[in-house]
Structure 1
Amino acid sequence: MMKAAVWVGNFKIEVQDKPKPIITNKHDALLRVTSTAICGSDLHLFGGYMPGMEKGDIMGHEFMGVVEEVGPDVKSIKIGDRVVACFDIACGHCGQCSNKLFSECDVTNSSDPQEDMYGHRTAGLFGFSHMTGGYAGGQADYARVPFADVNLIKVPSTLTDQQVLFLSDILCTAWHANELGEVKKGDVVAVWGAGPVGLLVVQCAQFRGAKRVILIDNAKYRLEFASQKLPGVELLDFGEHDTVKRLKEMVPNGPDVCIEAVGFHYAKSLMSKVEMAVGLQTDPADIINELIVSCRKGGIVSIVGVYAATANHFMIGPLMEKGLTLRAGQTPCQKYWDELLGYIESGKLDPTFIISHEPPLSDASHSYKMFNEKLDGCLKVVMHPTPA
C-alpha cells in the first residue's frame, strides 16, 4: 500500500491508502516519487469543473522521483535513475508523436466521450480525469509511467528536485506559450494570469528578448511578487483598471503577442457565470475576448490555459477582421525537455523562484485549499512524500 492524494468530490481532497502500482506493460517504469506539485490545472479538477472525475482518482501530473522497477523492453531508463515524468503520456511511435506532437498522441487515450466531443482524442494525461484516459496521478508515494523511454527524462544529481521538477509541465508550458506566440527579440508581450505558469511565461519571454512584458492579474500579492522577482515586468491590476482600456493606454497599437495563462473556470462577467451555472456553456470567453481585442492587428494570440468544451460570445469577428493568428494546445513537454534542461544547468532559466510552500504529501487537503483560495501568499506548492 501507499499514500496518495485522491479526489473524493468537488473541493475535497483526501490522503488515503491506495494499492501500490505495479508494472503492467513491458514498456512501463515504476517511480518512487520524491517531489510532486499542485498545478493550476489541478484546480479545474479539484472544483469539479472538468468532466470525467471519479471518486478515488489519484491526483497530480507534475512529479518526479527515482526509478524502482522497469519493464523488460525499457531501454534508456534503468533502476536507480533520477527522473522527471511529463504530464502528457506519449507512445513515441504514432504519427502525432513522430511529428513531436506528443500531447496529441493517438495511442494513449481511450476516451470515447472525448472523441465524441472533440472529434479526436488528445494524449492520455496523468491524474487528469477519465476524459484523458483515467491514469493515476503522481501525488502519491509511487507512480507507474507508461512508455518510460518516451515519458521520463533523466536529470543530473547536480540539480535539485526544485530546479527540475517543472520540466514535468509548467516550465515547458511557459516555453510552449512563447513558442506558440513566436516571441522574439523586440516584441511587446502581454500575459494574462500571474499564477505559476504566467510568471514563468514572463521569465521565458524576457529570456527570449521581449522588449516589454506586461503581466495582468488582480491578486496584489502575486503582482507584487512579480515586480520583485522579474525585474522590468510591467503590471496591470484589473481590479483597479479596465484591462482593455489600460492596455490601449500602455500600448496604443496593441501588444505583438497576447498570452492566456488563466484557464476556463475564471469567468469575469455575470453573464458567463450564469450561463456556466445553468449549463449553457462550460467555458467563459471573457478573458480570451480581452486578448483578441487588445492584440495588435496581425498579432498572435497564444492560449495555454486549459479549456474544456464550449464558450458562448466568442469574438470571432475581431479575430478575423484584425488578421490575428490564434494558437493553443496542451504542451508537448518532450519536445522542449533537452533544451530547457540545458538552460537550467547553465543558470539561464531558474524556475525555483515560484515555489512558495513545500509541505509533506500528508498535508495535501490543506494545500489544495490554500492554493485554490490564494491563502498565505501561496504561489506554487511542491509536496514531498515521506521517504520509504
Structure 2
Amino acid sequence: MRALQWDGIDKLSVNTVPDPRLINSQDAIVRVRRTTTCGSDLHLLGGYIPFMRAGDVLGHEFLGEVVEVGSDVRLHAVGDRVVVSSFIACGRCWFCRQELYSSCDNGNTNPALTETMWGAAPGGCFGYSHALGGNAGSHAEYIRVPFADVGAFRVPDGVSDERALFASDAAPTGWMGADLGGVRPGDVVAVWGAGGVGQMAARASMLLGAERVIVIDRFADRLQATARHVGCETLDYSATSVSAELEEATAGRGVDVAIEAVGMEAHGRGISGAYDQVKHQLRLQTDRPTALREAIYNTRKGGTVFVLGVFALAVNKFPLGAVVNKGLTVRGAQMHGQRYIPMLLERMERGELVTEHLATHVMPLEEGPRGYAMFKEKQDGCLRAVFTP
C-alpha cells in the first residue's frame, strides 16, 4: 500500500509499505477514506518530539471503512463506515473505567520512554512517535485499529465524510477543553489559537452556555473562518493588547476559563517571544509556553486554565506564582476521544457542530508532502490539508 512517511526533520515522502495485518483478535483493518493533518503533527515534522524513526507513517485523525475484523470484534462488521479515536484505549483498565481513555494502561505498547520522562505512560496514539507506541499512522491506504470495539465508532448515514472526519480528534479535543475546563452558562471564555482544535473548543464553549467566547490568533484567514463558522468573537493579538481587550471584556476581572490550543511552538512578540524562540532552538527548553503564560495572566482569580496544546517536557519561566496566588486550577490532558465521539456524532447529525470548513485543502495522498508544506507555512489559507488515499 502507499503511505506518507517521515524521513527526517522536515522531510516527508510517499512510498510503498507493507499492508497492515490483524495482530490481535480485537483488531480491525480499516481502509482510510479521509485523513487530515493536525497541528501536533508539525512538532513531529520539525523534530521537536525526539522519538521518531525514519520510515514512520504519520497521521492520527481519520475516517474509513472496515475491511477485516478480528475474531473478538463484536460491534463492527466489514463495510461499516467508522471514525476512529486518535488515542488507543483498551476500555477495561482502571483509567478507561474512569473515562480517562488517553491514560489507558494498555494502549501504549512501548511505555518505558514516557514512564522515564513523565513518571507514567499515557495511552497509545496512531502515528505519533515511538514514545506513544510506535503505531503506524493514518496517512496510508489501510490502517490497523487495535481495540476496535472501543476506539472505532460507526458514522450515522446523515453525516458526511468531511464532517465526521474531525470527530476523530479535533472536535473531541476541543470539547474536552471546554468540558474539563469547567465552562458553565454565563462564563467568559478565551481560547488561544484559531486552528481546528481552537475553533472546536470555542464552539463547545458556546454549546455549553458560555456568554462570551473570544478566540485569539494572528492569522486573518483563521480569525475570519472562526467568526464565520463558529460565530464567536475574535482577537488579533498582533494588532492589539490581549490583556487590555480581555480586561475590557470582563470589567477588569479576567476570563473565567482560558483554553490554550497552541502548544509547544507558540509564537510570541517582543523580548519574551525572542527569549522563548532562542532557548527552544538551542534546545535549552523543549517547549515555548508563550500562549500558556498569557492565558495564566489573563484568567480571573479562582478561574481555570486548560492546556490542550501538545507539550513535550519542560518550559522556562512558568508563572507558578500567578497560579498559586490567584488560586487558579490548571488542567491538561491528551484527548479522551472515546468519552466524547458518540455525542459529537449526534450533534453533527443535528447540525449543531459543523466541521467541514476545516478541510480547506483536499488532495490525494500522493500530494502529502505538498499538503504538509502548505499546512506548516499556512499558505493559501490552509487550515487543514486532508488526504484521500
**Is the TM-score greater than 0.5?**
yes
TM-score grouping bracket, smaller chain normalisation? over 0.9
Q: Scaled by the length of structure 1, what TM-score is found?
A: 0.96
Q: Partner of 1:315 in structure 2? A: 319
AA at the equivalent of 1:49: Y
- The residue correspondences of 1:78-227 to structure 2 (distance < 5 A) are 78-109=77-108, 110-227=110-227
Q: Partner of 1:372 in structure 2? A: 376
Identity between Structure 1 and Structure 2 (%): 44
For 2:199 and 2:184, how far apart are their aligned partners in 1? 18
Q: Measured at CA, do residues 338 and 223 of structure 1 come closer, stay the same or move farther in structure 2, by a change above 3 Å?
A: same
User: 1:371 Cα deviation (Å)?
Assistant: 0.5
- The residue correspondences of 1:1-388 to structure 2 (distance < 5 A) are 2-109=1-108, 110-231=110-231, 233-251=232-250, 252-268=252-268, 269-385=273-389
Q: Which moved more, 1:276-285 or 1:222-231?
A: 222-231
For 2:171 and 2:289, how far apart are their aligned partners in 1? 25
**Other structure's SS at 1:298 match:** strand
User: 1:259 Cα deviation (Å)?
Assistant: 0.5
For 1:10 and 1:245, how far apart are their aligned partners in 2? 39
For 1:70 and 1:228, how far apart are their aligned partners in 2? 41
1:108-156 Cα distance to aligned partner (Å, 9 max, x none): 2123121100000000100000010100001100000011111111112
Q: Would the aligned equivalents of 2:263 and 2:289 in 1 still touch at CA under 8 Å?
A: no
User: 1:159 Cα deviation (Å)?
Assistant: 1.8
1:173-221 Cα distance to aligned partner (Å, 9 max, x none): 1100101211121110001001111111112212222111111111112
AA at the equivalent of 2:295: L
For 1:159 and 1:226, how far apart are their aligned partners in 2? 21
AA at the equivalent of 1:361: L
For 1:237 and 1:155, how far apart are their aligned partners in 2? 36
Unaligned runs of 5+ in 2: none
For 1:85 and 1:100, how far apart are their aligned partners in 2? 16
Q: Would the aligned equivalents of 1:60 and 1:128 in 2 still touch at CA under 8 Å?
A: yes
Q: Would the aligned equivalents of 2:229 and 2:354 in 1 still touch at CA under 8 Å?
A: no
AA at the equivalent of 1:15: V
Q: Which moved more, 1:240-249 or 1:28-37?
A: 240-249
User: 1:341 Cα deviation (Å)?
Assistant: 1.3
Q: Scaled by the length of structure 2, what TM-score is found?
A: 0.96
**Other structure's SS at 2:381 match:** coil
For 1:357 and 1:201, how far apart are their aligned partners in 2? 22
**Other structure's SS at 2:293 match:** helix
User: 1:267 Cα deviation (Å)?
Assistant: 4.3
For 2:225 and 2:36, how far apart are their aligned partners in 1? 20
For 2:267 and 2:161, how far apart are their aligned partners in 1? 34
User: 1:368 Cα deviation (Å)?
Assistant: 0.2
Q: Would the aligned equivalents of 1:32 and 1:66 in 2 still touch at CA under 8 Å?
A: yes
For 2:225 and 2:333, how far apart are their aligned partners in 1? 28
Q: Would the aligned equivalents of 1:248 and 1:254 in 2 still touch at CA under 8 Å?
A: yes
For 1:334 and 1:11, how far apart are their aligned partners in 2? 32
Q: Would the aligned equivalents of 1:49 and 1:265 in 2 still touch at CA under 8 Å?
A: no
AA at the equivalent of 1:281: Q
**Other structure's SS at 1:256 match:** strand
**Other structure's SS at 2:199 match:** helix
**Other structure's SS at 2:361 match:** coil
